[in-house]
């Protein structure tokens, strides 16, 4: 796939090298050399320090520096665990799946390096339930190949380091991507978030020190250890180094995953890689991080896709799942879809999220069914004001920016749905009818 800004893919190497998912092809293209270098030439601290020097930031959404996270793991507590977050449930995100399916060994190698760096001997890869075929097919096959060649198991590459890797499927719940809910689910408990502190680095899986990292994050570790932090920094910006896989969807001609250097403008993703908007329509809004993101107006299309610039432009990079709305899309309909998603996925543990998403869906439905009043538009604002900062975990908080920016950018569309007739005739048209 053409990508003018990259000389070659760092993560999506399968797009340059045919059949790299097979271990022999991977080995013929520097496969497992990073592991060899790590285990034979570097101490665990050296590996952590190289990852720190690379400036790699977590690709699961928050962008937390990966090497710093690893350095929080206590050295003298055992056992320790690596848990890979392969839940990938954010609407519009489909990048981790492509890595695991098409370039699995680079990812597995990164996981083993992470285990070596923090002194863990057990790694779990937790995937969403829908990854059944992948987890029982390509990914398990790659793990089996790694065992056969001695990159997993006892005394890897004749060193003292041993490491096992297991796949685990959840039942398919968005909340199980939140790291503490994921740990509960992996332990066989209900997938609901835990209070923090303690953080997983200190008391994670089975209350033991645990690194939780995203698939794409760990796939980056392999080239960092193989080529060094400096080379890794050839792409990206000072504070957001490396490449990022963007999942592009919505009203574009060529939706798909695209790997670009961090700092590439959104316009390049939409117009050059994505082939522009369908039927040459205008961009109406950009949701840069799936359902969890703010609506960025079309005037933000030249924003560089890095953590700082996206935040400064009122958005967030998150997992870089860009959903593009064009001028034909009804903004209230789009916001309602996201709110419904969050209501469905709310785990119910805390009332601001459980009740807030319930009330939001009810009011959106009332508006869209033609029973809405101006007070309902204000009510939406009241509900998100009460949710903001009061939810137990970020799932509930994720609802707020999308609704708030939808209202700010497209309030006229909301008000068109709010009929004065309804206001006069039925001051508080019974909401109950919209509940069930
Ligand atoms: C509701 C919710 C869903 C999340 N879903 C995912 C997910 O599917 N994959 C992921 O890697 N991180 C997800 N995260 C972020 C994780 O909690 C965690 O920050 C991440 O796995 C850490 O890995 P990283 O540092 O490599 O990014 C989610 C967070 C929340 C609050
Ligand atoms: S915000 Fe509360 S109800 Fe919503 S998912 Fe998190 S813990 Fe559950």
Higher pLDDT, 88 or 428: 88
The rounded distance, in Å, linking the Cα atoms of 352 and 358 is 10
* Most ligand 1 atoms within 8 A of CB, residue of 52, 59, 60, 99 to mutate: 60
CATH superfamily of 13-232: NADH-ubiquinone oxidoreductase 51kDa subunit (3.40.50.11540)
Q: Mean per-residue pLDDT for 389-405?
A: 98
> For residue 418, what pLDDT is reported?
87
> For residue 433, what pLDDT is reported?
47
For residue 192, which of 61, 339, 72, 353 has the smallest C-alpha distance? 353
| Ligand number, closest to the Cα atom of 201 | 1
Strand 296-297 relative to strand 283-287, pairing: antiparallel
Q: What is the mean pLDDT of the chain?
A: 95
> For residue 5, what pLDDT is reported?
74
For residue 338, which of 275, 394, 292 has the smallest C-alpha distance? 292
Q: Mean per-residue pLDDT for 218-234?
A: 97
Matching CATH topology for 13-232 and 331-435? no
∠300-304-309 over CA atoms, to 5°?
Answer: 85
For residue 62, is pLDDT > 90? yes
For residue 352, is pLDDT > 50? yes
Q: Mean per-residue pLDDT for 373-386?
A: 96
For residue 172, is pLDDT > 80? yes
Centroid of ligand 1 to alpha carbon of 182 (angstroms):
9
Tell which phi-psi region holds residue 341, choosing left (phi > 0), alpha (psi between -120 and 50) or beta: alpha
Supply the residue whose CA is at minimum distance from atom 18 of ligand 1. 179
The rounded distance, in Å, linking the Cα atoms of 434 and 436 is 6
pLDDT digits (tens, 9 = 90+) for 251-272: 999 999 999 999 999 999 999 9
The rounded distance, in Å, linking the Cα atoms of 131 and 137 is 10
> Which residues lie closer than 8 Å to 354 by C-beta, 6 or more apart?
346, 348
> For residue 147, what pLDDT is reported?
98
CB contact at 8 A, 330 and 343:
no
For residue 81, which of 186, 194, 225, 223 has the smallest C-alpha distance? 186
Residue whose tokens read 């990206």: 236
For 40, other C-beta atoms within 10 Å of its C-beta total 10
Task: Tell me, using a 6 A CB cutoff, whether residue 139 lines ligand 2.
Answer: no
CB contact at 8 A, 49 and 43:
no
Task: Tell me, using a 6 A CB cutoff, whether residue 395 lines ligand 1.
Answer: yes
Centroid of ligand 2 to alpha carbon of 25 (angstroms):
44
Give the strands of the sheet with 122-127, arranged side by side: 164-169, 122-127, 81-86, 210-214
Q: Which atom of ligand 1 is nearest to the CA of 395?
A: 1
The verdict on domain 331-435 having CATH code 1.10.40.30 is no
For 25, other C-beta atoms within 10 Å of its C-beta total 15
Q: If pLDDT is split at 50, 70 and 90, which confidence band does 321 have?
A: very high
Q: Mean per-residue pLDDT for 80-108?
A: 98
For 389, other C-beta atoms within 10 Å of its C-beta total 10
Q: Mean per-residue pLDDT for 220-248?
A: 97
Task: Tell me, using a 6 A CB cutoff, whether residue 83 lines ligand 1.
Answer: no
> For residue 7, what pLDDT is reported?
83
The CATH fold assigned to 243-326 is: Ubiquitin-like (UB roll) (3.10.20)
For 63, other C-beta atoms within 10 Å of its C-beta total 22
The domain locations on the chain are 13-232, 243-326, 331-435
What are the structure tokens assigned to 358, written together?
A: 């319930």
Q: If pLDDT is split at 50, 70 and 90, which confidence band does 430 have?
A: low
DSSP string, 243-269: EEEEEEEESBSS-EEEEEETT-BHHII
CB contact at 8 A, 247 and 239:
no
CB contact at 8 A, 165 and 187:
no
CB contact at 8 A, 12 and 273:
no
How far apart, in Å, are the Cα atoms of 79 and each of 76, 127, 203? Answer: 9, 22, 11
For residue 362, is pLDDT > 50? yes
Q: Mean per-residue pLDDT for 301-314?
A: 96
Residue whose tokens read 């004001």: 385
* Most ligand 1 atoms within 8 A of CB, residue of 64, 175, 177 to mutate: 177
Q: If pLDDT is split at 50, 70 and 90, which confidence band does 436 have?
A: very low
Centroid of ligand 2 to alpha carbon of 256 (angstroms):
30
What are the structure tokens assigned to 188, written together?
A: 């066989």
Strand 256-261 relative to strand 122-127, pairing: unpaired
> For residue 4, what pLDDT is reported?
54
| Ligand number, closest to the Cα atom of 349 | 2
**Is omega for the bond preceding 198 within 30 degrees of 0, making it cis?**
yes
Centroid of ligand 1 to alpha carbon of 127 (angstroms):
12
Residue whose tokens read 């997992």: 319
Query: Among 25-39, 353-367, 414-428, whose mean pLDDT is lowest?
Result: 414-428
Task: Tell me, using a 6 A CB cutoff, whether residue 166 lines ligand 1.
Answer: no
Q: Mean per-residue pLDDT for 210-224?
A: 98
Q: If pLDDT is split at 50, 70 and 90, which confidence band does 2 have?
A: very low
Give the strands of the sheet with 256-261, arranged side by side: 256-261, 243-250, 321-326, 283-287, 296-297
The rounded distance, in Å, linking the Cα atoms of 415 and 429 is 17
Q: Mean per-residue pLDDT for 158-186?
A: 97
> For residue 424, what pLDDT is reported?
61
Q: Mean per-residue pLDDT for 137-150?
A: 98
* Most ligand 1 atoms within 8 A of CB, residue of 51, 56, 61, 391 to mutate: 61
For 171, other C-beta atoms within 10 Å of its C-beta total 10
Supply the residue whose CA is at minimum distance from atom 1 of ligand 2. 396
Q: Mean per-residue pLDDT for 123-136?
A: 96
Centroid of ligand 1 to alpha carbon of 213 (angstroms):
8
Q: Mean per-residue pLDDT for 219-227?
A: 98
Centroid of ligand 2 to alpha carbon of 343 (angstroms):
10
* Most ligand 1 atoms within 8 A of CB, residue of 114, 169, 178, 348 to mutate: 178
The rounded distance, in Å, linking the Cα atoms of 281 and 246 is 22
């Amino acid at each position: 796939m053409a990508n003018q800004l990259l000389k070659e893919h760092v993560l999506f190497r399968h797009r340059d090298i045919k059949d790299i998912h097979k271990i022999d092809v991977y080995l013929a293209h520097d496969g497992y050399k990073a592991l060899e270098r790590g285990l034979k030439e570097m101490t665990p601290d050296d590996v952590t320090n190289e990852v720190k020097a690379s400036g790699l930031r977590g690709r699961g959404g928050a962008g937390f520096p990966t090497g710093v996270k690893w350095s929080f793991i206590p050295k003298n507590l055992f056992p320790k665990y690596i848990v890979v977050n392969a839940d990938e449930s954010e609407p519009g995100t489909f990048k981790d799946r492509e890595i695991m399916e098409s370039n699995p060994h680079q990812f597995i190698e990164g996981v083993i390096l992470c285990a070596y760096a923090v002194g863990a001997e057990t790694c779990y890869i937790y995937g969403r339930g829908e990854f059944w075929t992948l987890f029982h097919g390509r990914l398990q096959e790659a793990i089996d190949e790694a065992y056969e060649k001695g990159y997993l198991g006892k005394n890897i590459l004749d060193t003292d380091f041993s490491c096992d890797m297991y796949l685990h499927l959840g039942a398919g719940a968005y909340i199980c991507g939140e790291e503490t809910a994921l740990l509960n689910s992996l332990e066989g408990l209900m997938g609901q978030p835990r209070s923090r502190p303690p953080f997983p680095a200190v008391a994670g899986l089975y209350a033991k020190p645990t690194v939780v990292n995203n698939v794409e994050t760990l796939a980056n570790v392999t080239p960092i250890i193989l080529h060094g932090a400096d080379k890794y920094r050839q792409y990206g910006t000072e504070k957001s180094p490396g490449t990022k896989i963007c999942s592009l969807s919505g009203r574009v001609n060529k939706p798909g995953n695209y790997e670009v250097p961090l700092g590439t403008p959104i316009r390049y993703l939409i117009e050059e890689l994505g082939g522009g908007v369908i039927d040459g329509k205008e961009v109406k809004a950009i949701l840069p991080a799936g359902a969890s993101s703010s609506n960025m107006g079309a005037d933000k299309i030249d924003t560089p896709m890095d953590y700082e610039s996206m935040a400064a432009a009122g958005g967030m990079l998150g997992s870089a799942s860009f959903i593009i709305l064009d001028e034909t899309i009804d903004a209230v309909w789009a916001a309602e879809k996201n709110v419904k998603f969050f209501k469905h996925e709310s785990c119910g543990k805390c009332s601001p999220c459980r009740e807030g998403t319930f009330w939001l869906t009810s009011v959106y439905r009332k508006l869209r069914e033609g029973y809405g009043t101006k007070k309902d538009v204000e009510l939406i604002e009241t509900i998100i004001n009460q949710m903001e900062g009061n939810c137990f975990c970020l799932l509930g908080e994720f609802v707020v920016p999308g609704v708030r920016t939808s209202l700010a950018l497209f309030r006229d569309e909301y008000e068109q749905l709010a009929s004065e007739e309804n206001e006069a005739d039925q001051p508080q048209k019974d909401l109950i009818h919209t509940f069930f």
